[in-house]
Chains A and B, each alone.
Chain A
């Protein structure tokens, strides 16, 4: 008998005063004891809804509308609340996506364990302290975290604590819902390793829900692919990788590539800097065509250091950027890569004049950016524009696309009325949002993530800038939408000759859209050079670590 047997499960969202949406339709699958299975899909595919349904955590307006969930031979789809509560010990546990927020900020970690032990009484009172200690050690944390509050722990530590809490239930089935999505690259890698080790050691059955096919293929032995509420493919990991049956699976796979490979391609995105010599002296081919207006000023960052005041009195100041120098030539695209806290976003703030360096200088053309006052900064922003990470919060939800784009056009140019509108429509054409009239009238919530990011890019282009500063522009987007946005950024360089500072932790996208790269670690540049060269033949240990942290579908079945 399988541990979990799901038959014809359907989940419907029934919000007040809106059409019901069928998030999961007739899902049927089984999980065998001790198996590690992946559930992959893009946002809106219904994977998390399914994960919540099988652990009976669905809340209104979501409702299980049909089917049955046999857990250990019992149907749990309709059992009573109190019985369900008791089932959670020794039954099924869940680790949530945002482990950062899964802990009660006003209770110490020890109390979190205490609450679970008290609710189920499965650990005798005198053994609870020792058990809590044992559990946090299992997730590779020191016992001292037990006396801390969630706010005092890092994101990775918090996610480890929530894994330990779920583990304290001694579950037979663990559902991990995007357990590492909100974490930093290197931390992500480490937490996934812990999950894999735990699964092997404790031999629980695990379901890993993720949007990242790479992570799933690397960890699990079997993969279910979900699309539009249906499970479209269910096969061993190796088969998914080498002989995908469904076209959607094939599409997802096509968006993975190894940034270390000789030739890197994504659908719709051309190869960059292909002509490099593999030994020593390398020649980059900046593919920026010079058809449009040429960027004419270089950004010269000269020996810049930025210190922030210490978080607590009596401690040393925080060095966010440590003696960094580089030059972004007109029309060039440079990647700043590193884990969070490496100083890459601080550099963006220094370059745009949002923050002033503690020492060193930033020059743009004839201007010293750090000395600019209000007026000068305004002029600087005409030439330098930002593309933000989160397209969901970078647009005012109450304004139409047209209004959003008209603002910068009117602010930064003499165009008014009909001319301004013509310019807005032209911008929409540039970023590929056609038919333009239709898109101009839309509100942000009517657009997909990729479309919103295009609007953000169009807004940045509105004042015809020389430089685009793109801060993780695709990290919030679904894999299948990333290539399109990256291709757009790349096109803009070719068409308009804008230079680009591309800030990311994602080495694959850096490889695709930049010619030069700087690898940052704790505010210091550890390696820099031609992108393809650095990524293919990394010299610094930190660069290697970053490259190794990228999930590789090719390592499929690692945890089989």
Chain B
């Protein structure tokens, strides 16, 4: 319990540091979005003070000292008020993010978890049956697929499964005629659209989990406690799962934390290829259109999600490894 509280305290502290950095960084940069816009206008001719004031108000150039700005910013963050998007004016940044987030969380998040679970189990099996085809087949194909860049895999899947065979839709998260709701038909449609992007992520990330788990597992299989467990005649299942795999999973779990943290921001290319309306696609749009409020909010969200994912893994670690509890 004290362990969890300590980790929670650490989470809040780092989150605060991240928010503060997010506040400070844009202010440390020379110039401002308003200056950029004004400079562009100035090329065409002189800018009147009235135009200048109008642009500054429109873009919300802050007034007051840095201290009061900071307090206001913290208040806005707590109320999830990140201002208005330039690109999708007049939609607010938070409404854009809330509509994109579920798509990414459900599709990318579930696939990441699925890849971790399947990859780890296959890795355990491969290590346990070392040297047989159950080992060589997944290890070899894992090495092969994890070397694919995932936008390339995405393009291949789009071309063959989507364009040539026409088995799956090539873009979007749901059919053109549907609108998001929780009815059975819509969910099925969404699932159908999610298959190709999900498959892309699965194919490219599975190999890493398999190889990682297999290699650590082979090391733990050489540990004395495994030999001793065999000497004591424990059942194979017990030795493989509770003795070898239980210890071998710990390093993989750290990787899993990083992968979970990357769910929100890391799927940019896949979502771009499939025009999937998730956070990655939104971020892509924000960057190409120099949409500062949107970018700032997304970066903050990505940071926070990495922190939260690491917190979850820390807690899991505490349950799985008694040595970290102290």
Q: Inside 8 A of B230's CB, which chain A residues have their CB?
A: 57
What is the CA–CA distance of A325 and B321 in the complex, to the nearest angstrom? 43
- Name the contact of A57 in the complex, choosing from B227, B238, B243, B323 (C-beta under 8 A): B227
- Name the contact of B232 in the complex, choosing from A98, A101, A149, A166 (C-beta under 8 A): A166
Please report which residues of chain B, range 297-326, place their CB below 8 angstroms from some CB of chain A when the two chains form the complex. 320-323, 326
Please report which residues of chain A, range 80-99, place their CB below 8 angstroms from some CB of chain B when the two chains form the complex. 81, 85-89, 93-94, 96-98
Tell me if B242 and A115 are in contact (CB < 8 A).
yes
- Residue A534, interface by CB 8 Å: no
Please report which residues of chain B, range 67-103, place their CB below 8 angstroms from some CB of chain A when the two chains form the complex. none
- Name the contact of A96 in the complex, choosing from B227, B238, B246, B320 (C-beta under 8 A): B227
Tell me if A96 and B232 are in contact (CB < 8 A).
no
Tell me if A105 and B322 are in contact (CB < 8 A).
yes
Give the interface residue-count category, chain A.
20 to 34
Closest B residue to A108 by beta carbon equals B322
Tell me if B232 and A165 are in contact (CB < 8 A).
yes
Q: Inside 8 A of A118's CB, which chain B residues have their CB?
A: 238
- Residue B45, interface by CB 8 Å: no
Q: Inside 8 A of B233's CB, which chain A residues have their CB?
A: 85-89, 116, 119-120, 169
Q: Inside 8 A of B236's CB, which chain A residues have their CB?
A: 81
Tell me if B228 and A119 are in contact (CB < 8 A).
no
Given known A107-B242, A119-B238, A151-B323, contact A96–B247 (CB-CB < 8 A): no
Tell me if B243 and A116 are in contact (CB < 8 A).
no
- Residue B223, interface by CB 8 Å: yes
Tell me if A96 and B228 are in contact (CB < 8 A).
yes
What is the CA–CA distance of A94 and B231 in the complex, to the nearest angstrom? 6
What distance in Å separates the Cβ of A56 from its nearest Cβ neighbour in chain B? 9
Q: Inside 8 A of A85's CB, which chain B residues have their CB?
A: 233-235
Q: Inside 8 A of A149's CB, which chain B residues have their CB?
A: 322-323
Tell me if B321 and A106 are in contact (CB < 8 A).
yes
- Name the contact of B231 in the complex, choosing from A57, A97, A151 (C-beta under 8 A): A57
- Residue B190, interface by CB 8 Å: no
What is the CA–CA distance of A116 and B239 in the complex, to the nearest angstrom? 11
Partner-A contacts on B (CB < 8 A): 223-225, 227-236, 238, 242-243, 246-247, 320-323, 326
Q: Inside 8 A of B320's CB, which chain A residues have their CB?
A: 106
Closest A residue to B224 by beta carbon equals A101
Closest B residue to A107 by beta carbon equals B242
Tell me if B247 and A102 are in contact (CB < 8 A).
no
What is the CA–CA distance of A107 and B323 in the complex, to the nearest angstrom? 10
Given known A85-B233, A115-B242, contact A105–B227 (CB-CB < 8 A): no
What is the CA–CA distance of A149 and B324 in the complex, to the nearest angstrom? 12
- Residue A104, interface by CB 8 Å: yes
Please report which residues of chain A, range 56-89, place their CB below 8 angstroms from some CB of chain B when the two chains form the complex. 57, 59, 81, 85-89
- Residue A385, interface by CB 8 Å: no
- Name the contact of B234 in the complex, choosing from A93, A98, A116, A151 (C-beta under 8 A): A116
What distance in Å separates the Cβ of B14 from its nearest Cβ neighbour in chain A? 22
Tell me if B228 and A105 are in contact (CB < 8 A).
no
- Name the contact of B229 in the complex, choosing from A59, A93, A98, A104 (C-beta under 8 A): A104
Tell me if A104 and B243 are in contact (CB < 8 A).
yes
Q: Inside 8 A of B243's CB, which chain A residues have their CB?
A: 104, 107
Tell me if B228 and A162 are in contact (CB < 8 A).
yes
Tell me if B235 and A102 are in contact (CB < 8 A).
no
Tell me if A88 and B232 are in contact (CB < 8 A).
yes
Given known A96-B231, A119-B233, contact A104–B323 (CB-CB < 8 A): no
Q: Inside 8 A of A169's CB, which chain B residues have their CB?
A: 232-233
Tell me if A116 and B232 are in contact (CB < 8 A).
yes
- Residue A103, interface by CB 8 Å: yes
What distance in Å separates the Cβ of A424 from its nearest Cβ neighbour in chain B? 37
- Residue A55, interface by CB 8 Å: yes
Given known A96-B228, A166-B232, contact A101–B238 (CB-CB < 8 A): no
What is the CA–CA distance of A208 and B70 in the complex, to the nearest angstrom? 72
What is the CA–CA distance of A89 and B223 in the complex, to the nearest angstrom? 22
Q: Inside 8 A of A115's CB, which chain B residues have their CB?
A: 229, 232, 234, 238, 242
What is the CA–CA distance of A98 and B225 in the complex, to the nearest angstrom? 10
Please report which residues of chain A, range 438-462, place their CB below 8 angstroms from some CB of chain B when the two chains form the complex. none
Binary interface encoding of chain A residues 48-60 relative to chain B, with 1 for a CB under 8 A from any of its CBs, else 0: 0000000101010
Given known A115-B242, A149-B323, contact A98–B231 (CB-CB < 8 A): no
What distance in Å separates the Cβ of B281 from its nearest Cβ neighbour in chain A? 41
Q: Inside 8 A of A119's CB, which chain B residues have their CB?
A: 232-235, 238
Q: Inside 8 A of A103's CB, which chain B residues have their CB?
A: 225, 228
What is the CA–CA distance of A85 and B233 in the complex, to the nearest angstrom? 5
A and B contact pairs by CB, cutoff 8 A, 30 listed: A55-B231, A57-B230, A59-B227, A85-B234, A85-B235, A86-B233, A87-B233, A88-B233, A93-B231, A96-B228, A97-B224, A101-B223, A101-B224, A101-B225, A104-B225, A104-B242, A104-B247, A106-B320, A107-B243, A107-B246, A115-B229, A115-B234, A115-B242, A116-B232, A119-B235, A119-B238, A149-B323, A165-B232, A166-B232, A169-B232
Q: Inside 8 A of B224's CB, which chain A residues have their CB?
A: 96-98, 101-102
Binary interface encoding of chain A residues 144-168 relative to chain B, with 1 for a CB under 8 A from any of its CBs, else 0: 0000010100000000001001100
- Name the contact of B247 in the complex, choosing from A57, A94, A106, A151 (C-beta under 8 A): A106
Given known A102-B224, A119-B233, A162-B228, contact A151–B238 (CB-CB < 8 A): no
- Beyond the given A104-B243, A105-B247, please list 9 additional residue pairs across the A-B interface where CB-CB is below 8 A: A57-B227, A59-B227, A88-B232, A96-B227, A96-B231, A105-B225, A106-B246, A107-B246, A115-B238
